[in-house]
Amino acid sequence: MTSSHGRGPRTADVSSAVEAAAEALTALWDRTQRTPKTRVSPSQMQALAIVERHGQINLNGLAAELDAIPSSASRLCDRLQAAGLLTRAASVHNRREVMLALTRDGRALLAEVGRNRRQALALILGDMSPAGREALLTGLAEFNAAAHDATSWERRA
Protein backbone atom coordinates (compact mmCIF):
# COMPACT_ATOMS: atom_id res chain seq x y z
CA MET A 1 0.00 0.00 0.00
CA THR A 2 1.25 3.46 -0.84
CA SER A 3 1.14 6.33 1.62
CA SER A 4 -2.56 7.05 1.27
CA HIS A 5 -3.52 8.67 4.55
CA GLY A 6 -6.19 10.74 2.84
CA ARG A 7 -4.28 12.33 0.00
CA GLY A 8 -3.36 9.37 -2.12
CA PRO A 9 -0.02 8.58 -3.74
CA ARG A 10 2.67 11.17 -4.29
CA THR A 11 2.13 13.26 -7.40
CA ALA A 12 5.69 12.58 -8.54
CA ASP A 13 5.04 8.85 -8.55
CA VAL A 14 1.85 9.15 -10.57
CA SER A 15 3.58 11.61 -12.86
CA SER A 16 6.38 9.15 -13.54
CA ALA A 17 3.91 6.39 -14.31
CA VAL A 18 2.04 8.66 -16.73
CA GLU A 19 5.27 9.66 -18.45
CA ALA A 20 6.29 6.02 -18.86
CA ALA A 21 2.85 5.19 -20.26
CA ALA A 22 3.08 8.12 -22.66
CA GLU A 23 6.36 6.78 -23.97
CA ALA A 24 4.95 3.27 -24.42
CA LEU A 25 1.84 4.58 -26.13
CA THR A 26 3.81 6.77 -28.50
CA ALA A 27 5.89 3.79 -29.54
CA LEU A 28 2.79 1.64 -29.99
CA TRP A 29 0.99 4.31 -32.02
CA ASP A 30 3.98 4.85 -34.29
CA ARG A 31 4.45 1.15 -34.81
CA THR A 32 0.85 0.29 -35.58
CA GLN A 33 0.49 3.27 -37.86
CA ARG A 34 3.29 2.13 -40.08
CA THR A 35 1.48 -0.28 -42.41
CA PRO A 36 3.64 -2.08 -44.96
CA LYS A 37 1.00 -1.81 -47.68
CA THR A 38 0.45 1.90 -48.23
CA ARG A 39 3.16 4.15 -46.91
CA VAL A 40 1.49 7.17 -45.34
CA SER A 41 3.10 9.65 -42.99
CA PRO A 42 1.71 10.45 -39.53
CA SER A 43 0.42 13.76 -40.86
CA GLN A 44 -1.41 12.02 -43.65
CA MET A 45 -2.95 9.51 -41.24
CA GLN A 46 -4.10 12.34 -39.01
CA ALA A 47 -5.68 14.11 -41.94
CA LEU A 48 -7.50 10.96 -43.02
CA ALA A 49 -8.76 10.41 -39.47
CA ILE A 50 -10.09 13.97 -39.32
CA VAL A 51 -11.89 13.65 -42.63
CA GLU A 52 -13.43 10.38 -41.49
CA ARG A 53 -14.55 11.86 -38.19
CA HIS A 54 -16.21 14.84 -39.86
CA GLY A 55 -17.69 13.06 -42.81
CA GLN A 56 -17.99 16.26 -44.80
CA ILE A 57 -15.34 18.88 -44.21
CA ASN A 58 -13.77 21.56 -46.38
CA LEU A 59 -10.10 22.36 -46.69
CA ASN A 60 -10.06 25.24 -44.22
CA GLY A 61 -11.82 23.04 -41.70
CA LEU A 62 -9.22 20.35 -42.12
CA ALA A 63 -6.44 22.89 -41.72
CA ALA A 64 -7.99 24.15 -38.48
CA GLU A 65 -8.29 20.62 -37.11
CA LEU A 66 -4.70 19.91 -38.06
CA ASP A 67 -3.63 23.12 -36.37
CA ALA A 68 -1.96 24.02 -39.65
CA ILE A 69 -2.49 26.69 -42.28
CA PRO A 70 -4.57 26.06 -45.41
CA SER A 71 -1.64 25.87 -47.77
CA SER A 72 -0.07 23.05 -45.78
CA ALA A 73 -3.38 21.20 -45.70
CA SER A 74 -3.75 21.72 -49.43
CA ARG A 75 -0.37 20.13 -50.06
CA LEU A 76 -1.24 17.21 -47.80
CA CYS A 77 -4.42 16.71 -49.79
CA ASP A 78 -2.44 16.79 -53.03
CA ARG A 79 -0.52 13.74 -51.89
CA LEU A 80 -3.45 11.92 -50.34
CA GLN A 81 -5.38 12.45 -53.55
CA ALA A 82 -2.45 11.25 -55.64
CA ALA A 83 -2.28 8.17 -53.42
CA GLY A 84 -5.96 7.51 -54.08
CA LEU A 85 -6.98 7.87 -50.44
CA LEU A 86 -8.99 11.07 -50.63
CA THR A 87 -11.09 13.05 -53.09
CA ARG A 88 -11.64 16.76 -53.55
CA ALA A 89 -14.92 18.07 -54.90
CA ALA A 90 -16.36 21.57 -55.20
CA SER A 91 -19.24 22.13 -52.82
CA VAL A 92 -22.61 22.37 -54.51
CA HIS A 93 -23.67 25.24 -52.26
CA ASN A 94 -20.55 27.34 -52.49
CA ARG A 95 -18.27 26.78 -55.38
CA ARG A 96 -15.35 28.31 -53.52
CA GLU A 97 -15.34 25.49 -51.01
CA VAL A 98 -13.60 22.20 -51.63
CA MET A 99 -15.25 19.32 -49.83
CA LEU A 100 -13.03 16.41 -48.86
CA ALA A 101 -14.02 12.77 -48.68
CA LEU A 102 -12.29 9.45 -48.20
CA THR A 103 -12.06 6.94 -50.99
CA ARG A 104 -12.72 3.28 -50.38
CA ASP A 105 -8.97 2.74 -50.02
CA GLY A 106 -8.76 5.59 -47.53
CA ARG A 107 -11.46 4.08 -45.36
CA ALA A 108 -9.85 0.66 -45.60
CA LEU A 109 -6.50 2.04 -44.52
CA LEU A 110 -7.97 3.75 -41.49
CA ALA A 111 -9.82 0.59 -40.56
CA GLU A 112 -6.67 -1.47 -40.84
CA VAL A 113 -4.62 0.87 -38.68
CA GLY A 114 -7.38 0.99 -36.08
CA ARG A 115 -7.54 -2.78 -36.07
CA ASN A 116 -3.78 -3.11 -35.61
CA ARG A 117 -3.85 -0.61 -32.80
CA ARG A 118 -6.67 -2.28 -30.93
CA GLN A 119 -5.04 -5.66 -31.37
CA ALA A 120 -1.72 -4.46 -29.98
CA LEU A 121 -3.53 -2.80 -27.11
CA ALA A 122 -5.59 -5.93 -26.41
CA LEU A 123 -2.38 -7.93 -26.21
CA ILE A 124 -1.10 -5.65 -23.46
CA LEU A 125 -4.40 -5.44 -21.61
CA GLY A 126 -4.71 -9.20 -21.79
CA ASP A 127 -1.49 -9.53 -19.85
CA MET A 128 -2.91 -7.50 -16.99
CA SER A 129 -4.87 -8.85 -14.04
CA PRO A 130 -8.63 -8.17 -13.91
CA ALA A 131 -8.02 -5.96 -10.88
CA GLY A 132 -5.30 -4.10 -12.76
CA ARG A 133 -7.61 -3.45 -15.69
CA GLU A 134 -10.31 -2.31 -13.31
CA ALA A 135 -7.90 0.13 -11.65
CA LEU A 136 -6.68 1.35 -15.03
CA LEU A 137 -10.20 2.03 -16.25
CA THR A 138 -11.15 3.82 -13.06
CA GLY A 139 -7.98 5.89 -12.97
CA LEU A 140 -8.02 6.78 -16.65
CA ALA A 141 -11.67 7.81 -16.59
CA GLU A 142 -10.85 10.44 -13.99
CA PHE A 143 -7.61 11.37 -15.69
CA ASN A 144 -9.30 11.89 -19.06
CA ALA A 145 -12.00 14.03 -17.49
CA ALA A 146 -9.41 16.16 -15.68
CA ALA A 147 -7.28 16.49 -18.82
CA HIS A 148 -10.33 17.54 -20.79
CA ASP A 149 -11.20 20.20 -18.23
CA ALA A 150 -7.65 21.53 -18.15
CA THR A 151 -7.59 21.72 -21.93
CA SER A 152 -10.86 23.57 -22.29
CA TRP A 153 -9.72 25.94 -19.57
CA GLU A 154 -6.65 26.73 -21.64
CA ARG A 155 -8.72 27.28 -24.76
CA ARG A 156 -10.67 29.95 -22.93
CA ALA A 157 -7.55 31.77 -21.74
Partner DNA sequence: TATTGTTATACTCTATAACTATA
Partner DNA sequence: TATAGTTATAGAGTATAACAATA
Interface positions with DNA (CB under 7 A)? 40-41, 43-44, 58-61, 66-72, 74-79, 88, 91, 94-99
H helices within 34-129, ranges in order? 42-54, 59-66, 70-82, 104-126
Using CB under 8 A as the criterion, what x/- string covers residues 98-127 for binding a second copy?
-------------------xx-xxxxxxxx
Pairing of strands 98-102, 86-90: antiparallel
Tell me the closest approach of the beta carbon of residue 39 to a second copy, in angstroms.
16
Helix (H, G, I), strand (E, B) or coil at 88: strand
Instruction: State yes or no: residue 129 binds a second copy (CB under 8 A).
Output: yes
For DNA, the closer of residues 5 and 96 by Cβ is: 96
**Nearest distance, CB of residue 70 and a second copy, angstroms:** 20
DSSP for 62-84 reads HHHHHTS-HHHHHHHHHHHHHTT
